[in-house]
Amino acid sequence: MRHRHWLSLGCLTALLSPLPAAAQSHVSINGLVDVGIYRGFDGTAQAGTIQRSNLAIAGWEDLGGGLKATFRLSARFDIDTGRMEDQGSKPFWHDESTVGLQGGFGHLRMGRALSAMWSQDWKFDPWANFNRISSPAWYQWHYLTPTDRYSNNGAAEYGRMANGLFYDSPTFGGFTLHLSASPERTEAPLTLRREGRGYSASLNYDSDSLSGMLAFERNGSGDRDTFAAAKYRFGAAAVMAAWDYSRVAQTALSAKAVTLGATYQVGATTLKAGYGRQTMQEQTNHFYSLGADYALSKRSTLYASIGRKSYEYGVDSGTSFGVGMAHAF
pLDDT per position as a tens digit, 206-236: 999 999 999 999 999 999 999 999 999 999 9
Render the burial of 102-122: b for 16+ CB within 10 Å, e for the rest: beeebbbbebbbbbbbbbbbb
pLDDT single digits (tens) 232-249? 999 999 999 999 999 999
- Give the residue from 121, 66, 139 showing the smallest Cα distance to 308: 139
pTM of the predicted structure, to 2 decimals? 0.89
Residue 128 CA from chain centroid, whole number: 9
Burial class (CB in 10 A: 0-12, 13-18, 19+), 133: buried
In angstroms, the CA 317 to CA 89 distance is 27
- Using DSSP bridges, classify how beta strands 155-157 and 53-64 pair: parallel, antiparallel or unpaired: unpaired
- Give the residue from 120, 108, 145 showing the smallest Cα distance to 226: 145
Q: How confident is the model at residue 195 (pLDDT cuts 50, 70, 90)?
A: confident
More confident residue, 123 or 251: 123
In angstroms, the CA 240 to CA 169 distance is 24
Residue type, 96: E
3-state secondary structure of 5: helix
In angstroms, the CA 257 to CA 242 distance is 8
Whether pLDDT at 146 is above 60: yes
- Span of 4-13, 56-65, 200-209, 244-253 with lowest mean pLDDT: 4-13
Whether pLDDT at 6 is above 50: no
Whether pLDDT at 250 is above 90: no
pLDDT at 22: 54
Whether pLDDT at 191 is above 70: no
> Residue 204 to residues 84, 166, 171: CA-CA distances in angstroms?
33, 15, 9
Q: What integer best gives the mean pLDDT of the chain?
A: 91
Whether pLDDT at 35 is above 50: yes
Partners of 98 in beta bridges: 72, 111
Rounded (5°) CA angle 263-130-44: 105
pLDDT at 13: 41
DSSP 232-257: EEETTEEEEEEEEEEE-SSSS-EEEE
Looking at the chain, the whole-number percentage of residues with pLDDT higher than 70 is: 92
In angstroms, the CA 308 to CA 41 distance is 8
Q: What is the mean pLDDT of residues 195-199?
A: 93
| All domains of the chain in start order, with CATH | 24-32+48-328 (2.40.160.10)
Q: What is the mean pLDDT of residues 17-23?
A: 49
pLDDT at 87: 84
pLDDT single digits (tens) 39-51? 999 999 999 999 9
Q: Residue 215 is inside which H or E element, if any?
A: strand 210-218
